[in-house]
Amino acid sequence: MTTIRDVARRAGVSVATAARALGDYGYTSPRTRQRVLRAARALDYHPNAIARSMIKGRTQTLAVVVSDNANPFFASVVRGIEDAVLGQGYAIILCNADEDPAKEALYLRAIRQKRVDGLVISPSGGPGGLLRGLMASGIPIVQVDRRLARLPADAVVVDNRAGVRAAIEHLVRLGHRRIGLLGGPRRLYTGRERLQAYLAAMREARLPVADGWVLEGTFKEASGHALVGRFLRLRRRPTAIVVANNLMTIGALLALKEAGVRIPEEMAVVGFDDMDWAPILTPPLTAIAQPARDLGAAAGVLLLERVTGAFAGRPRTVVLQPRLVVRESCGTRAAPSWAYTEQESRGPTA
Amino acid sequence: MTTIRDVARRAGVSVATAARALGDYGYTSPRTRQRVLRAARALDYHPNAIARSMIKGRTQTLAVVVSDNANPFFASVVRGIEDAVLGQGYAIILCNADEDPAKEALYLRAIRQKRVDGLVISPSGGPGGLLRGLMASGIPIVQVDRRLARLPADAVVVDNRAGVRAAIEHLVRLGHRRIGLLGGPRRLYTGRERLQAYLAAMREARLPVADGWVLEGTFKEASGHALVGRFLRLRRRPTAIVVANNLMTIGALLALKEAGVRIPEEMAVVGFDDMDWAPILTPPLTAIAQPARDLGAAAGVLLLERVTGAFAGRPRTVVLQPRLVVRESCGTRAAPSWAYTEQESRGPTA
DNA sequence: CGCCGTTAGGAGAACGTTATCACATTCCCC
DNA sequence: GGGGAATGTGATAACGTTCTCCTAACGGCG
């Protein structure tokens, strides 16, 4: 590997001069500058970023920790982060923690040793001791999608409450009163948040939540697939379900299809997180669209402000609004007749 | 940031001794070892990987260049790579080149400066001069999904020919004789490969390829959406189309839905690349499943062998087999009657 | 008692860059 | 023509590790 020393030698100058010419600082006469540049080109010189990091104390590298990059939601978030930081010359180290504290810890240790300039993380839960340690060591952290209870770091999240509320209001407007939730792990921020939003929205709508209408899944496809059966076996089964994330929605829809349950006639479905393929389903899926890419981009911007020192105040929280994309999986706008054929504890006018 | 120097001081030993104790090499008495370890813990010492890289000439970091991590196929590939290398202690720098040579070049330059230990790339095309430069500088490269014509580097690809052939044979078996291709950019390896496979398979099946039956898209959803119209406006339109990647399949299906074209009665569809959501479509989508994650994992393994020096022979090529997942978007197994109502140039027995 | 092998630990060079300081020139102005 | 600023360049010290040499103490053995 050719070093600046080789370049200097070939240009007939000292290392210091070569560095000035290449680094574009200090005095250099145009003539020597040219000579150095020519030599560098001739030798195909590429400065060693490791050595530079050593000296500058900055690596121009950011780390991103998500649970799984193969989940389209996180893939988009990562993409958004990258878009935001590429222009400023930062590269991204991608870490998939799989909601596994051990794996997350492993990655955080590596991240710390690599002296990354900053970190965007969608924390899996846990006490966050390692994150606190990272912060103490001076590495700025931005949380995305999820946040830890008492971690004094910036955060970019989506307004889960508003999203779930919009979905439930939509269902209610269409005449649904028996609405179930296929939720996520309570261990995770998004799982908890969406569950509480569901409970609050149901309360607001003065709708009862019967036993078995709230299920706790794993945010994975298999769990959506497995749990739908429980809804179907219920004596008083919900006429509509809200599924708390994209993967579980796939599983749930598959299970409903296998069971021959018609959507929305026998079961209305609204998914959290809109996907490319939502419109091509039959019926097209009504979904709570999360601005995943913007989420990432915002996180990237906040992080950059910290990294460059442009901002050094107290932790900030950015809340992005989701958007209910109404398609056809909850029924037509007019309230379906069947919704009123059964006696509910409260009539429509109550 | 605490350094090994601080640890040594606190333990009352020299830097050399501290290094031996922490690095687990050379002689150290159990007692001093304990003292050093305790000091390191007390000071929350995390070795500086930058400095270590400097000395060792290895960064324990790999780079991955794909066109777009937000495309589920590449997201899975990346995931596969990560799975393969995490165990060996390597981190991954993710680069989205967007098929943009300038962006790719930008990243390759950064990668080179960062002295990454190896590179997995899904090359966008172009002359590959930069890649050759990287190789010349001693960085092992593995190509994945796509490959450059004359680049002497390992490659892991899918058997595109076999995949397309299986799809077309399947269609033929179901009675289709007018089969179109919604292809990808000829500029890209996969685009070319799948086009040629289509042509070869049609020739083998002794089926004609009429004007307008072969379209060149961009591998993006919008292009699938836009181009389907061309098929539909054709006087002699195909009864079946093969769509050359996942994103274009979504666009195509959406356009067909909007146009009210029934699948498979009016148009059979088989997509390249199976997706999670393929089974929940109506009808469920028949697709050529690519082992995306395995593709990545294999690339990771090959790269690791190069990086560690376990293998140093001539460039290898791993070809993974795709699998046709038959669902219902091409019609039932029994040849549909309508397929024979029109006169073809060649009868079924010819 | 001297020699040698073993055990333990320290000094210091190296990795490749950046950046500070010092040292020359040259030039200008009073 | 001399002092001082402006201009150009070189020497060299960092940055934090790793690792090769050295040195020293000690015990065993001839």
Q: Tell me: the pLDDT tens digits for B202-217?
A: 999 999 999 999 999 9
Is the pLDDT confidence value at A241 over 70?
yes
As a whole number, mean pLDDT of residues B230-234 equals 97
Among the partner residues A79, A253, A280, nearest to B257 by beta-carbon distance: A280
Q: Evaluate if the CB of B24 falls below 7 Å from strand D.
A: no
Q: Which nucleotides of C are covered by protein (CB under 7 A)?
A: 7-12, 14-21
Mean pLDDT taken over chain A: 94
- Strand B317-320, strand B154-158: pairing: parallel
Show the tokens assigned to A270.
């609204």
Q: Evaluate if the CB of A25 falls below 7 Å from strand C.
A: yes
Question: pLDDT tens for residues B150-180?
Answer: 999 999 999 999 999 999 999 999 999 999 9
Q: Residue B91: closest CA among chain A residues belongs to which residue? A: A93
Q: In whole angstroms, what is the distance from residue A283 CA to residue A281 CA?
A: 5
Q: Evaluate if the CB of A27 falls below 7 Å from strand C.
A: no
Strand C-proximal residues of A, range 49-88, CB below 7 A, are: 51-52, 54-56
The predicted pLDDT at position B30 comes to: 92
| pLDDT band at residue B25 using 50, 70 and 90 as cut-offs | confident
Q: Do the Cβ atoms of A76 and A292 come closer than 8 Å? A: yes
Q: Evaluate if the CB of B152 falls below 7 Å from strand D.
A: no
The predicted pLDDT at position A339 comes to: 42
Indicate whether this model's pTM tops 0.85: yes
Nearest protein residue to the C1' atom of D13, measured from CA = A55
Q: Which nucleotides of D are covered by protein (CB under 7 A)?
A: 7-12, 14-21
Query: Please, what's the largest Cα pairwise distance for chain A?
Result: 94
- Chain A positions touching B282 (Cβ under 8 A) are 281-282
The predicted pLDDT at position B336 comes to: 45
Question: pLDDT tens for residues B108-131?
Answer: 999 999 999 999 999 998 778 899
Residue that wins the pLDDT comparison between A332 and B182? B182
Pick from A39-48, A137-146, A327-336, B49-58: least confident? A327-336
As a whole number, mean pLDDT of residues B23-34 equals 90
Question: pLDDT tens for residues A294-312?
Answer: 999 999 999 999 999 999 9
Q: How far is the CA of B22 from the C1' of C11 (A)?
A: 19
The predicted pLDDT at position B333 comes to: 56
Determine, for residues A93 and B279 on separate chains, whether the beta-carbon distance falls below 8 Å: no
Q: How far is the CA of B53 from the C1' of D15 (A)?
A: 13
Q: How far is the CA of A16 from the C1' of C22 (A)?
A: 13
Q: Which of B48, B280, B293, B328 to mutate to test the interface with A (most CBs of A within 10 A)?
A: B280
Q: How far is the CA of A36 from the C1' of C24 (A)?
A: 21
User: Other C-beta atoms within 10 Å of A60: how many?
Assistant: 19
What is the residue type of B195?
L
| pLDDT band at residue B349 using 50, 70 and 90 as cut-offs | very low
Is the pLDDT confidence value at A344 over 80?
no
Q: Evaluate if the CB of B335 falls below 7 Å from strand D.
A: no
A47 Cβ partners below 8 Å, 6+ apart? A4, A22, B113
Q: Residue B61: closest CA among chain A residues belongs to which residue? A: A93
Name the closest nucleotide to B17, judged by C1' and CA.
Answer: C9
| pLDDT band at residue B27 using 50, 70 and 90 as cut-offs | confident
Show the tokens assigned to B180.
């179109």
The predicted pLDDT at position A333 comes to: 55
Q: Evaluate if the CB of B32 falls below 7 Å from strand C.
A: yes
3-state helix, strand, coil in chain B (%, to 5): 45, 15, 40
Q: Evaluate if the CB of A13 falls below 7 Å from strand D.
A: yes
As a whole number, mean pLDDT of residues B328-334 equals 79
Is the pLDDT confidence value at B341 over 60?
no
Q: In whole angstroms, what is the distance from residue B161 CA to residue B172 CA?
A: 16
As a whole number, mean pLDDT of residues A196-218 equals 97
Nearest protein residue to the C1' atom of D10, measured from CA = A14
Name the closest nucleotide to B115, judged by C1' and CA.
Answer: C16
Listed in order, strand segments (DSSP E) in chain B are 61-66, 91-96, 118-121, 141-144, 154-158, 179-183, 214-216, 240-243, 268-272, 286-289, 317-320, 323-325
Q: What percent of chain B has pLDDT over 90?
A: 90
